[in-house]
Structure 1
């Protein structure tokens, strides 16, 4: 028996749902859903309908093709006007695998990016803005205390800390954008 009580577990800590949270953070910033609870409901209904709701996915998370299927299901069901484009297709289109150039192209086209934030790709974040050499992101693993701090990082700091890979991940772009034609 432990003699010292551990702090309470936080949602998003022990699970593998960071990719799903990245999609939820994208959807909750659109006007189609009236509340966070409604956003969660529709995303998890899509996961269930796609038969992806399993203990394995809850623990190990989702790879980008399954995140794409979830995103497309919610976006199509709600006629949201967005599509998920694999980042490798964006890399081919713009002629580089530099994650920052790819992200800048997506954001300039009106989109946001679901990035693999760790070297082995086992943590996803949503990048929603690039400005003045900084990358702004939503990260479901940031603690409540850290949420009050800036969610931006310089390109140099990100390059040093994380082995970012532009060939995996998703560009979430408007259906009438240039990059949407890549699917």
Structure 2
């Protein structure tokens, strides 16, 4: 009986201590403001325009990978493709909608003409071992190097023709 009374007494003391702490004023130096702050979505900046006579492999790596990077605004990704601006937005949207975009690291740049170069390197998708890629064409348009729209449309067409529906890009018609 004594043990039971002691346990009840101890429980009562703990309850009183908790209640006293809960009711005591808190030293709250932070002001309470019912205002809700809404921040706009933050987008990553696109790579700087490449105006060099012959771009480096690193510059082309950044340009290519930015074309499928969803953290970059769609309009900025569209400016990285060559072609009329009213058509590149739709192509950039389709290009960025690939089921599993590959990451490419270029190692070699080969001039084809004053306004065209080919780049080769290694590609990676998911956990797959690196594999050779290229040549991937880049063209100079308005003194800026851009990923070839013809190349992008060719890849989109291949994706559209794949027998596995999960790998298809339904927007390949944007290139026509």
Q: Note whether the superposition's TM-score is higher than 0.5.
A: no
TM score, norm. by length of structure 2: 0.24
TM score, norm. by length of structure 1: 0.23
- Point out which structure has higher relative CO (alpha carbons under 8 A, 6+ apart): 1
